[in-house]
């Protein structure tokens, strides 16, 4: 536990629309927790976990105080370890919500979906040639450049075929590719993030319908809780909120939902 009057939590929750609840919806700020979202624009385009974390931390305001925890949702989970390691000093707690690892298969599936949104279908051989395991492992910058470059070319062609003029197709393709480059860089950095060994404490909170083996890490102290809610409600569930506040040393009273006073150390 990390008892503090106003503990600081750094949050990794990728921006953009999604149906699932967000970390902000836990309402931790109403219980004295200062939550600072790290994934704010402009997003880093680093492809190593350490490089990505360094750029995120460069935007943390000075004087924020010691960090009690680094919290991360879904595919951002591996990056929480890099952020926590880069802070130095006593390891903060890491809190993971429905943590997932980023694999070549998941990147391939995402790329297929991006092309599918443009009406483009690639067979498995074409996909495996473009989404190369060797490039992801050995030259991640080139990996990102190749996939985003191919997407840009195909997006412009698809938009022109749909009747857009050159200026319109170029502008729309640039918007699509810019958003994808941010996301792909995030995934590749997470793929290359170092998660083990971790000397600090890890709290893993999972919804009832999430694969419990979707993410693995080695930690000195690790606790996993499967909660009685689905993935969409995990980050607005009272059960989740209570688990996080208790881990921070700020338990809720059953009746009022207010923070209980802690006795000073003897």
CA distances to 148, 152, 231 from 145, in Å: 5, 10, 33
Cα angle: 11, vertex 34, 71; to 5 degrees: 20
Q: For residues 210 and 98, is the Cβ–Cβ distance under 8 A?
A: yes
The pLDDT assigned to 251 comes to: 66
The pLDDT assigned to 4 comes to: 52
The pLDDT assigned to 163 comes to: 87
Digit-coded pLDDT (tens) for 50-94: 999 999 999 888 777 889 999 999 999 999 999 999 998 899 999
Q: For residues 164 and 116, is the Cβ–Cβ distance under 8 A?
A: no
The pLDDT assigned to 252 comes to: 65
The pLDDT assigned to 203 comes to: 96
More confident residue, 238 or 251: 238
Judge whether residue 246 has pLDDT over 80: yes
| CA gap 24, 15 in Å, rounded | 11
Average pLDDT, stretch 138-159? 94
Q: Which domains does the chain have, with CATH numbers?
A: 8-100+196-247 (3.40.50.1820), 104-191 (no CATH)
Contacts 24+ apart (CB under 8 A), 158-162: 158/118, 158/119, 158/120
Judge whether residue 108 has pLDDT over 50: yes
According to DSSP, residue 197 is labeled S
The pLDDT assigned to 230 comes to: 95
What is the pLDDT confidence band of residue 220, given thresholds at 50, 70 and 90? confident
| CA gap 208, 109 in Å, rounded | 24
Digit-coded pLDDT (tens) for 167-208: 888 898 899 999 999 999 999 999 999 998 888 999 999 999
The pLDDT assigned to 5 comes to: 66
The pLDDT assigned to 187 comes to: 98
- CA torsion through residues 231, 237, 241, 242, sign: negative
Helix-, strand-, coil-residue percentages of the chain, each rounded to 5 = 45, 15, 40
Per-chain mean pLDDT for the chain: 89
Average pLDDT, stretch 99-123? 92
The pLDDT assigned to 257 comes to: 45
Digit-coded pLDDT (tens) for 35-52: 999 999 899 999 999 999
Judge whether residue 263 has pLDDT over 50: no
Percent of the chain topping pLDDT 90: 67
């Amino acid at each position: 536990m990390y008892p503090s009057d106003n503990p600081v939590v750094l949050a990794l929750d990728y921006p953009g629309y999604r149906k699932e609840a967000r970390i902000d919806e836990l309402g931790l700020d109403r219980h004295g927790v200062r939550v600072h979202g790290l994934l704010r624009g402009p997003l880093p385009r680093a492809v190593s976990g350490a490089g990505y974390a360094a750029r995120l931390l460069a935007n943390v305001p000075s004087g924020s105080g010691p960090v009690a925890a680094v919290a991360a949702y879904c595919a951002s989970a591996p990056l929480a370890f890099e952020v926590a390691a880069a802070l130095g000093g006593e390891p903060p707690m890491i809190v993971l919500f429905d943590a997932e690892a980023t694999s070549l298969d998941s990147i391939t599936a995402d790329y297929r979906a991006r092309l599918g949104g443009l009406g483009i279908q690639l067979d498995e051989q074409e996909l495996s040639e473009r989404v190369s395991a060797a490039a992801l492992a050995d030259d991640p910058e080139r990996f990102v450049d190749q996939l985003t470059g191919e997407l840009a070319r195909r997006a412009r062609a698809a938009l022109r075929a749909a009747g857009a003029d050159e200026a319109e197709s170029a502008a729309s393709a640039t918007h699509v590719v810019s958003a994808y480059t941010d996301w792909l860089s995030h995934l590749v950095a997470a793929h290359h993030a170092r998660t083990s060994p971790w000397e600090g404490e890890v709290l893993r909170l999972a919804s009832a319908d999430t694969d419990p083996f979707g993410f693995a890490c080695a930690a000195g102290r690790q606790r996993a809780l499967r909660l009685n809610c689905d993935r969409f409600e995990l980050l607005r569930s009272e059960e989740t909120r209570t688990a996080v506040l208790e881990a921070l040393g700020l338990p809720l009273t059953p009746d009022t939902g207010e923070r209980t006073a802690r006795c000073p150390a003897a």
